[in-house]
Amino acid sequence: MRRFASQYRDFFRLPDVAALVTVALLSRMPIGMVGLAMLLFLRESLGSYALAGTVSGVYFTAMAIAAPVQGRLIDRSGPRLTVAVTGIAHPIALGAVLAGALAGAGLGAVASAAAVAG
């Protein structure tokens, strides 16, 4: 056990590792919160857990597909452009999910916006 802890201690002493791990953990916290908030909001606006779950499923499926692609783009071209584009597109697409659900748009429109958000 001490050897295991020693390896982690050595790892976190490398330059910038502790800061990078902290930022990575904090940046992933909202993923679960957005999913739950989306499910509860859509249940209220669409009137059904089945419809809300469908849209949430589309959102998380799109996220699962897009995450490796985004990671590859970051590895190839650096984080600046990829993070800037996704940082702008994600909240706009979440706003489209919100607006579509509030406006009574069909399931396809709301699910499409959720796919873009993911």
Cβ distance 46 to 100 under 8 Å?
Answer: no
How much is the pTM?
Answer: 0.75
Q: What is the pLDDT along the chain (118 residues), one digit of tens a residue?
A: 677 667 778 777 878 878 888 888 887 778 888 989 999 999 999 999 999 999 999 999 999 999 999 989 989 988 888 888 988 999 999 999 999 999 999 899 999 999 999 8
Phi, psi angle pair for 15, to nearest 5°:
-60, 130
Please give the C-alpha separations between residue 96 and each of 11, 69, 110, in angstroms, as whole numbers: 42, 23, 8
Task: Look at residues 81, 35, 37, 42 and name the one whose alpha carbon lies nearest to residue 61.
Answer: 35
